[in-house]
Structure 1
């Protein structure tokens, strides 16, 4: 039986918030959409007259679905080929959710989504609901069927795991283009020194090819190592051109709140390089080239075109 219009509208008014919660919990826009759709099916099947607070009910159902996925995801990560990174999302995508505070913006950065992989499922839920969506400890405790004091302890543990001493540099489209232009000029210079100057001494580069695309399977650590790695990455050759189907255009973008190099050819995104920039320099590069994780960003990027590349390579 179809839902009454007002009950469908009630759910749809919550969809964006639910997607943003699920994306932060799962690190995958596709999985987040599936979790929200499962929540809708349960909303459809429920005795809705007995639901006093729909928003709380929907959040609890979604959270339980995500908890089950997080538990199974830990098993899948153990067999994942190479490094696992989140699915990148362009600025403006509702999957990113609220961005009014520094905590909300940080909670969806590639750096934080990657760090949150260290957390237990409960720790991740508590941190996301509390830090990014402003839920009180009592509300989170009710969602997870925990005591309020237990919820507070879990939150403190999560914060300790995610503590970082460096402040992030916030960017908009104009700032991102300036960062990308400088970074690309250094990468294409053929010399390691310009890149070393842009990186922190302990910078880390991580790439995710998902066994679908060739990508380094271990992190590169240190400014010198990353500079050499990038010099080889951006050096043109016939194999790279053949894989891309021609030359590749490099665009500047804001992805998950950070400046990013977006590599595209033939109307599709081939790779995204997110630059975790701090006042001391770029401390991390997150390179996503797994085609399964680039479908959503390709659709949005194509829909927003035409685009003006910073440079063409290969």
Structure 2
């Protein structure tokens, strides 16, 4: 085995961890793969003889790559806070696929990723690397071009926003599925009262249907408004085949027509109530997802 092959093997040992970092940073599975590949390119061109902790070194490299990608993404948008849902990770209803376990660990649901999307790039990097992966502020500081104290402040601001906006979901999948089933039954029956009963008073529904004018973004707040929208959706439900799934490790649904995905729905459930519903119905993005739940 030559030196390059040895280095490649060492890199592969860290690939899953690096993709988990990149996914939390970017909310995109494709971009996460790109960031990990860029980290490999940089590693292959670097003299690693003085790198004592390759995993830590690679984590900071991926963080730097993702920060550049986030800044570029923001610069391209006319609206830097353009709303969109992160890529969901969809698995069979009874288990998370092994290749995705690290990506959805620590309750990294869509609701949390949506909140991370609202952070500026430096805040997101400081929060993800420190709070989710234990990287020190001394290591984060040179990535964001600030002092360790300033990097700590970035993470602190991000932490306050996350705590205030991202629900902490119930970990019991059986309970989650019961709540989702109750929501479905109430929607099918057009039972407005039953819908409201299963929704948190401050529930938020977000739907991403892709680029305007074909699609667009919808955000609805409050139990009564979300229940009304659910009743509207149900008019079209007879055309769909609905399959239970895990979406980022939480109870969810996949709607299909003739085997083709029409939407992926994620539910965040806390204290027995639905606190967030996230719907990805962007045809272009759905085609790019690997929906194992649809495999025979």
- Aligned alpha-carbon RMSD (Å): 2.8
Q: State the secondary structure of the residue aligned to 1:49.
A: coil
1:73 aligns with 2:65: no
- Number of aligned residues: 289
Alignment of 1:153-302 (within 5 A): 153-164=153-164, 167-172=168-173, 174-211=174-211, 215=215, 217-236=217-236, 247-279=239-271, 281-295=273-287, 297-302=289-294
Distance 2:214 2:242 in 1: 19
**The 10-residue stretch of structure 1 (272-281 or 157-166) with the greater mean CA deviation from structure 2:** 157-166
TM-score with structure 1 setting the length: 0.81
Distance 2:104 2:84 in 1: 25
Distance 1:62 1:95, change over 3 A: farther
Match of residue 93 from structure 2? none
- Written as runs of structure 1 = structure 2, the 5 A alignment for 1:5-154 is 5-78=5-78, 83-90=83-90, 91-92=96-97, 94-95=99-100, 97=102, 104-105=106-107, 108-141=108-141, 143-144=143-144, 146-154=146-154
How far residue 214 of structure 1 moved from its aligned partner, in angstroms, is: 5.5
Provide the rounded CA distance (Å) in 1 between the counterparts of 2:117 and 2:142.
24
- Work out the CA distance in 2 between the residues paired with 1:126 and 1:92: 29
CA distance in 1, matches of 2:225, 2:160: 29
Which of structure 1's runs of 4+ aligned residues deviate more than 6 A? none
**Deviation, structure 1 residue 147:** 2.9
* TM superposition shift of 1:26: 0.5
**Residue 82 of structure 1: CA displacement?**
7.8
Secondary structure at 1:272 match in 2 = strand
Residues 265 and 280, structure 2, Cα contact 8 Å, conserved in 1: yes
Question: What's the offset of the Cα at 1:53?
Answer: 3.0
Distance 1:148 1:83, change over 3 A: closer
SS in 1 for 2:202: strand
User: What is the DSSP-based 3-state SS (H/G/I as helix, E as strand, rest coil) of the residue aligned with 2:189?
Assistant: coil
